[in-house]
A and B are shown apart, each in its own frame.
Chain A
Amino acid sequence: MAKITLHSEWLAARSTEVHFTGAQLTTTHPPSASTEPWMEAIVPGTVLATLVKNKVVPDPFYGLGNEAILDIADSGREYYTFWFFTTFQCKLSGNQHCDLNFRGVNYSADVYLNGHKMVLPKGMFRRHSLDVTDVVHSDGSNLLAVLVHPPDHPGSIPPQGGQGGDHEIGKDVATQYVQGWDWMAPIRDRNTGIWDEVSISITGPVKIIDPHLVSSFFDNYKRVYLHATTELENKSSGTAECSLSIHVTTELEGGIHSV
């Protein structure tokens, strides 16, 4: 399977400062780095990582920089609701299928690809895989815009700080240290963002999903079995006659492989 990670050429802008819809951004009005309020973005990363990179806010880890950054409790969730935008190429032939994969988004998002809207449901620790076969352009550029929403319960930080602030973040399925702890100042955007890998994967009609490998041992580890199970998805409209193979190779010294 060809997997292409989308980890460069991203732009970002605060949602309250963008006056186009996701459909317009990904069809008639694509942004560019040179037009306000758009800026170069770090993906994977958080909203704050992008703002620090562009020196819009001081680095929170130096001096009292964190005190100069508006906390989401005071600014409201819209202030840290950001658009992320990029473009990519994707040539599909015949019976090929294309998935757009997000390995981690905090906390939920609306995805627009070439004018089509799809939703990434809530939850920081879940993967998303969107079948975009019918939406991608095989010839030319594909325009992708992602509107990322912060956690539902970002909470606020009591004057005395404390472990986990007012604990509101615990109502969501998200990382909790972001409200501050005895060893850590609060993270102002609660780690909102496309925080893990974004990729597109191209497969034929049948896709391998989440194989599981388990080993069992007998005779004092002399006799060993490898058990492998996997999900398979046939996306085509016809029965797929397949041959499924598993290879196990080990690297001998010096890069020589034995199969």
Chain B
Amino acid sequence: EQLQTQNLSIPPTSRVQYTFPELFFYKPNLWWPNGMGKQSLYNVIINIDVKGYGESDSWSHHFGFRKIESNIDGATGGRLFKVNGEPIFIRGGNWILSDGLLRLSKKRYQTDIKFHADMNFNMIRCWAGGLTERPEFYHYCDYYGILVWQEFWITGDVDGRGIPVSNPNGPLDHDLFLFCARDTVKLLRNHPSLALWVGGNEQTPPDDINKALKNDLKLHPYFRHAEEKEKPVGGLS
């Protein structure tokens, strides 16, 4: 479908951020949730060759072209989800984790998640008191079309409610919480099934954490701008 190569120099013992010019696709196969269409997945491979050495590193990931939007619907007060512009009736299940001794395996994830798809579900909500789920969990959600509502590690009972009120200011180390959240987002953000990050369960995270999460997770200004700005239709019939 697409192949692009760029040349660049990287200074010694340094780290750089590189952004490819965007790749254009005409009417690609879209990724749809279970029951709305096919879960079309593309394989994206990034590799880097170094002069005098050869291939230095390679990375690959299954990617689905899809647009997921959600906001609070004025009429119902509920959260309305749309996928590729189409509203979707959410049929979802609660999820804590696959095994209480964390004996997590691909086979177990595939069985658990296919079960949800066979029950005609199209969303799994990962409860904040459990785990931010693993790439294998998300891989099978990509494959079977199960959207994922993923909560961070704040629960009403343990963070600021209950009698007596517990941990009113959440975890002791907010920087550690945000470090873990950022690293987790980097681990999971390319999965098409990831539909929504949620600060916590029945509880808003402490203000500084909540503000930082909202800031880190908002759509990059480039995309907000690009969505509004009509691109020149370069010779496209």
Q: Is the CB of A241 within 8 A of B7?
A: yes
Residue interface mask A113-143, B partner, CB < 8 A = 1: 0000000001111110000000000000000
Tell me if B75 is interfacial: C-beta within 8 Å of chain A.
Answer: no
Considering the chains assembled together, what is the distance between the CA atoms of A212 and B101 in angstroms?
32
Which of A19-27, A30-38, A78-86, A164-172 interfaces with chain B?
Answer: A164-172
Tell me if A28 is interfacial: C-beta within 8 Å of chain B.
Answer: no
Considering the chains assembled together, what is the distance between the CA atoms of A103 and B101 in angstroms?
17
Which of B113-121, B140-148, B210-218, B224-232 interfaces with chain A?
Answer: B224-232
Q: Which of B101, B170, B181 lies at the interface centre, i.e. has the most chain A CB atoms within 10 A of its CB?
A: B101
Considering the chains assembled together, what is the distance between the CA atoms of A230 and B104 in angstroms?
29
Q: Is the CB of A48 within 8 A of B158?
A: no
Considering the chains assembled together, what is the distance between the CA atoms of A241 and B54 in angstroms?
11
Q: Is the CB of A1 within 8 A of B59?
A: yes
Q: Is the CB of B2 within 8 A of A242?
A: no
Considering the chains assembled together, what is the distance between the CA atoms of A52 and B14 in angstroms?
46
Q: Is the CB of A223 within 8 A of B158?
A: no
Q: Is the CB of A222 within 8 A of B53?
A: no
Q: Is the CB of A223 within 8 A of B26?
A: yes
Of A103, A213, A218, the contact of B61 (CB 8 Å cutoff): A213
> Nearest-CB distance from A40 to chain B (Å)?
14
Interface size class of chain A, counting residues whose CB lies under 8 Å from the partner chain: 35 or more
Residue interface mask B82-121, A partner, CB < 8 A = 1: 0011000000000011001111100000000000000000
Q: Is the CB of A208 within 8 A of B59?
A: yes
List residues of chain A with CB within 8 A of the CB of B155. 163-164, 170, 176
Of A203, A215, A236, A259, the contact of B1 (CB 8 Å cutoff): A259
List residues of chain A with CB within 8 A of the CB of B10. 206, 232, 234, 239-240, 242
Q: Which residues of B contact A (CB under 8 A)?
A: 1-20, 22-30, 40-59, 61, 63, 65-67, 84-85, 96-97, 100-104, 127-132, 134, 153, 155, 157-159, 162, 166-167, 170-173, 176-177, 179-181, 183-184, 186-187, 189-190, 220, 222-223, 226-227, 230-231, 233, 236
Instruction: Give 17 CB contacts A-B under 8 Å.
Output: A45-B103, A48-B101, A49-B101, A95-B53, A122-B176, A125-B153, A167-B162, A173-B176, A196-B134, A219-B233, A221-B85, A230-B17, A242-B7, A244-B46, A245-B3, A248-B23, A248-B44
Considering the chains assembled together, what is the distance between the CA atoms of A42 and B220 in angstroms?
41
Q: Is the CB of B43 within 8 A of A216?
A: no
Of B14, B67, B190, the contact of A213 (CB 8 Å cutoff): B190
Give residues 195-239 of A contacting B (CB, 8 Å). 195-196, 203-239
List residues of chain A with CB within 8 A of the CB of B180. 123-126, 173
List residues of chain B with CB within 8 A of the CB of A173. 153, 171, 173, 176-177, 180
Q: Is the CB of A227 within 8 A of B20?
A: yes
Of B20, B42, B49, the contact of A242 (CB 8 Å cutoff): B49
Considering the chains assembled together, what is the distance between the CA atoms of A216 and B157 in angstroms?
39
> Nearest-CB distance from A71 to chain B (Å)?
14
Q: Is the CB of A207 within 8 A of B65?
A: no
Q: Is the CB of A221 within 8 A of B132?
A: no
List residues of chain A with CB within 8 A of the CB of B177. 173
Q: Is the CB of B24 within 8 A of A230?
A: no
Which residue of B has the minimal Cβ distance to A218? B231
> Nearest-CB distance from B11 to chain A (Å)?
6
Of A163, A191, A242, the contact of B102 (CB 8 Å cutoff): A191
Considering the chains assembled together, what is the distance between the CA atoms of A230 and B60 in angstroms?
12
Q: Is the CB of B56 within 8 A of A171?
A: no
Considering the chains assembled together, what is the distance between the CA atoms of A229 and B44 in angstroms?
12
List residues of chain B with CB within 8 A of the CB of A62. none
Smallest CB-CB A-B distances: 10 pairs: A204-B56, A167-B166, A170-B158, A49-B101, A163-B157, A234-B10, A229-B19, A225-B22, A245-B5, A241-B51
Q: Is the CB of A221 within 8 A of B134?
A: no
Tell me if A175 is interfacial: C-beta within 8 Å of chain B.
Answer: yes
List residues of chain A with CB within 8 A of the CB of B50. 204-206, 240-242
Q: Is the CB of A237 within 8 A of B26?
A: no
Of A127, A177, A240, the contact of B9 (CB 8 Å cutoff): A240
List residues of chain B with CB within 8 A of the CB of A205. 50, 53, 56
Q: Is the CB of B5 within 8 A of A226?
A: no
Q: Is the CB of B53 within 8 A of A169?
A: no
Q: Which of A125, A164, A169 lies at the interface centre, i.e. has the most chain B CB atoms within 10 A of its CB?
A: A125
Q: Is the CB of B6 within 8 A of A243?
A: yes
Residue interface mask A147-167, B partner, CB < 8 A = 1: 000000000000000111011
Considering the chains assembled together, what is the distance between the CA atoms of A203 and B54 in angstroms?
11
